[in-house]
């Protein structure tokens, strides 16, 4: 007696295996678990930067540092090497801004995020202040910067740039959203991702 092949069952099994295999391949990605839907990454100066729904992330030791902008986006603003080295090698840094700034929220966010990275990644203490006298808070300007306590001054300007002079790094932004870009640029520099 001749056995009959049920082509319908074989076709259903084939389609089922194809669907399961496609799903696994989509989740895992083409080169193992580092790709797929979870994330993509770029390499900059030997550092891996993952592109995630939260922004751009890199691992330093056991910590993850998140950036809003990619290193490519922020590299147009140059920060002098000596400014980065001064900040990295200081036990304390003042993060200051103008009291009458037109971008107080954006500056406050950039200062807070920078303060977290300084403390958690570099063990650098910092204080937030204003560059002019105010009855409610500390005031520290570039004239107060020392080699042991440099100042990072966030200020509104007509063009975006970073100026380093006499232990003071002036981060000047032409519009409010650029302050986060400048914060990202400083941290990329401190981590050695950008030179």
Distance CA(91)–CA(115), nearest Å, equals 13
- Per the DSSP assignment, residues forming a β-bridge with 67 are 56
Summarize the confidence of residues 77-104 as an average pLDDT: 92
Q: How far is CA 80 from CA 45, 47, 171, in A?
A: 17, 20, 12
| Higher per-residue pLDDT: 35 or 128 | 128
Q: Give the full edge-to-edge strand order of the sheet including 168-173.
A: 125-130, 92-97, 151-156, 168-173, 161-165
On the question of pLDDT at 38 being above 60, the answer is no
- Per the DSSP assignment, residues forming a β-bridge with 130 are 97, 139
- Per the DSSP assignment, residues forming a β-bridge with 92 are 125
DSSP string, 64-113: EEEESS-HHHHTTS---HHHHHHHHT-SEEEEEE-TT-S-HHHHHHHHHH
Interval 123-170: pLDDT, tens = 999 988 888 777 766 788 899 999 999 999 999 999 999 999 999 999
The CATH number given to 69-190 is 3.30.379
Our measurement of the distance from residue 154's CA atom to the centroid of its chain's CA atoms, rounded to an integer in Å, reads 17
On the question of pLDDT at 35 being above 70, the answer is no
When pLDDT is cut at 50, 70 and 90, the band that residue 16 belongs to is confident
Interval 23-34: pLDDT, tens = 766 665 544 444
Summarize the confidence of residues 188-193 as an average pLDDT: 91
Summarize the confidence of residues 91-118 as an average pLDDT: 92
| Higher per-residue pLDDT: 174 or 17 | 174
Res 190: pLDDT: 92
């Amino acid at each position: 007696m001749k056995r009959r092949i049920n082509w319908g069952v074989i076709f259903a099994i084939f389609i089922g295996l194809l669907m399961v295999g496609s799903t696994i391949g989509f989740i895992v990605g083409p080169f193992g678990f580092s790709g797929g839907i979870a994330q993509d990454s770029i390499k900059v100066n030997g550092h891996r930067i993952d592109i995630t729904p939260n922004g751009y992330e890199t691992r330093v030791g056991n910590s993850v540092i998140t950036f809003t902008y990619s290193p490519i986006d922020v590299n147009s603003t140059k920060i002098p090497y000596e400014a980065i080295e001064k900040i990295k090698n200081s036990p304390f840094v003042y993060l200051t801004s103008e009291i009458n700034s037109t971008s107080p929220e954006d500056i406050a966010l950039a200062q807070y995020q920078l303060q977290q990275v300084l403390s958690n990644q570099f063990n650098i203490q910092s204080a937030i202040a204003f560059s002019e006298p105010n009855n409610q808070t500390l005031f520290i300007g570039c004239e107060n910067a020392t080699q042991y306590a440099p100042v990072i001054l966030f200020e509104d300007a007509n063009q975006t740039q970073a100026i380093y002079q006499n232990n003071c790094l002036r981060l000047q932004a032409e519009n409010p959203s650029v302050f986060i870009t400048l914060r990202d640029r400083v941290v990329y520099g401190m981590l050695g991702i950008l030179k």
